[in-house]
């Protein structure tokens, strides 16, 4: 059960951002450190992106992630149902999972390097100190599955809750495509949206915090439930085997698996919240998945929701953003459907799907 959420994004905290997304509002800004050419005269102008203004400018990768995650947690603490950091009893039975972009990917030039020790010392340990929660940093799990990381983290949390090892899980998902290294990598691979590359992505960044609890834990705290996690599917991918056609098939299989857990043979007609970011390859993969699902008579008449149209590409945070958007829809639109699916495809071909249903 999802009992509390928090977010740091270009559109503000979780309540403001989800309301703005619903209204189709965006707040793009020029990114001075990355110049692109525009118009017939090929005049250099700043790239357009979606930064969390005033929070991350000038920070490199690790500190940027920490600031985004800390801002999301600060927003989380203001929401109804969020436990106080002083509640030692709660945190001792809460799993903490941090979702990051894939450090196996070429983006960070670390594909053949074991980065976990430096990641633990340089990001996780200082993050836990900043958050102030009574949790041992060594016990924090890092999921580096990119866009599909939230689904992977939810699989872990669900397994541990069902096994009775914990009663809750705090998931912190964070990513930024606006640090210098990421921008250079995106530019080198011609993935940035500009005049010469209209089918590119607008770089964004976000931190998202999700609290998942067992029914017993939520009832004991009298916490209201925003949504119920009814189905989850995740499958690890490898860059060598990844193609967008293969990604579309794997994504369709993951959606079918998650829907099978939640609705059985019922045709799913709820919204599909995707990580489509404007790139042709990702669009093709999502379109192929939808076509296959229609052929299997698993979905029909679905609204496709694209948070990146307002927030830019938020990478590893996009799945958690989608969960927040789904929960917000349940709370703010009583007349809307009873279920939503968050559909993600990682850079390495990892499909991740989360099906949520309305509480009660």
Confidence at residue 238, expressed as pLDDT on a 0 to 100 scale: 61
In the chain, the domains with their CATH numbers are: 2-221 (3.40.47.10), 228-357 (3.40.47.10)
Confidence at residue 349, expressed as pLDDT on a 0 to 100 scale: 85
Give the least confident one: 10-19, 52-61, 145-154, 256-265. Answer: 256-265
* Residue 107, pLDDT above cutoff 60: yes
Confidence at residue 333, expressed as pLDDT on a 0 to 100 scale: 76
Percent share of the chain, pLDDT over 90: 76
Question: DSSP letters of 314-344?
Answer: -GGGHHHHHHHHHHHHHHH-TTS-SEEEEEE
| Host H or E run for residue 176 | strand 168-176
Segments in the chain forming alpha helices (H): 14-23, 61-77, 88-92, 116-119, 125-131, 149-162, 180-188, 215-221, 244-263, 280-295, 308-311, 318-332
pLDDT tens track for 316-346: 999 999 999 999 999 887 666 789 999 999 8
pLDDT tens track for 35-70: 887 766 778 889 999 999 999 999 999 999 999 999
Q: Classify 89 as helix, strand or coil.
A: helix
Residue among 27, 46, 24, 20 nearest 35 (CA)? 46
Here the tokens at position 238 are: 């490898």
pLDDT tens track for 94-105: 999 999 998 766
pLDDT tens track for 166-207: 999 999 999 999 999 999 999 999 999 988 788 899 999 999
How far is residue 164's CA from residue 59's CA, in Å, rounded to a whole number?
40
pLDDT tens track for 69-91: 999 999 999 998 899 999 999 99
Confidence at residue 112, expressed as pLDDT on a 0 to 100 scale: 55
pLDDT band at 285 (very low <50, low <70, confident <90, very high): very high
Confidence at residue 110, expressed as pLDDT on a 0 to 100 scale: 62
How far is residue 135's CA from residue 6's CA, in Å, rounded to a whole number?
19
Confidence at residue 345, expressed as pLDDT on a 0 to 100 scale: 93
Contacts of 132 (CB under 8 A, 6+ apart): 85
pLDDT mean across residues, the chain: 91
pLDDT tens track for 111-157: 555 677 788 889 999 999 999 999 999 999 999 888 999 999 999 99
Measured CA to CA in angstroms, residue 94 lies from 110, 353, 355 at distances of 31, 23, 22
């Amino acid at each position: 059960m999802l009992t509390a959420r928090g977010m740091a994004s270009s559109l503000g905290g979780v309540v403001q951002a989800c309301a703005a997304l619903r209204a189709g509002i965006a707040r793009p800004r020029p990114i001075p450190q990355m110049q692109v050419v525009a118009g017939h005269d090929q005049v250099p102008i700043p790239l357009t992106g979606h930064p969390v203004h005033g929070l991350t400018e000038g920070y490199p990768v690790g500190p940027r992630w920490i600031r985004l995650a800390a801002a999301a947690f600060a927003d989380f603490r203001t929401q109804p149902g969020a436990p106080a950091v002083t509640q030692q009893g709660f945190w001792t039975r809460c799993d903490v999972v941090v979702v990051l972009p894939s450090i196996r990917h070429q983006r960070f030039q670390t594909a053949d390097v074991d980065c976990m020790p430096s990641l633990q010392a340089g990001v996780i340990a200082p993050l836990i100190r900043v958050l102030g929660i009574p949790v041992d940093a060594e016990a924090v799990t890092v999921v580096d599955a990119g866009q599909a990381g939230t689904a992977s983290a939810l699989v872990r949390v669900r397994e541990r809750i069902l096994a009775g090892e914990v009663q809750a899980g705090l998931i912190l998902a964070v990513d930024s495509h606006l640090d210098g290294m990421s921008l250079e990598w995106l530019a080198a691979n011609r993935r940035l949206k500009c005049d010469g590359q209209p089918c590119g992505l607008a770089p964004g960044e976000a931190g998202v915090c999700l609290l998942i609890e067992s029914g017993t834990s939520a009832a004991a705290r009298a916490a209201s439930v925003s949504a119920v996690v009814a189905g989850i599917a995740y499958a690890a991918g490898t860059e060598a085997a990844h193609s967008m056609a293969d990604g579309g098939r794997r994504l369709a299989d993951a959606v079918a698996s998650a829907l099978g857990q939640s609705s059985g043979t019922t045709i799913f007609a709820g919204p599909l919240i995707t990580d489509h970011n404007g790139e042709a390859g990702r669009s093709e993969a999502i379109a192929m998945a939808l076509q296959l699902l229609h052929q299997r008579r698993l979905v029909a008449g679905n609204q496709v929701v694209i948070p990146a149209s307002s927030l830019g590409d938020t990478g590893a945070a996009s799945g958690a953003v989608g969960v927040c958007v789904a929960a917000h829809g349940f709370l703010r639109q009583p007349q809307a459907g009873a279920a939503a699916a968050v559909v993600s495809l990682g850079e390495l071909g990892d499909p991740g799907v989360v099906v949520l249903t309305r509480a009660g």
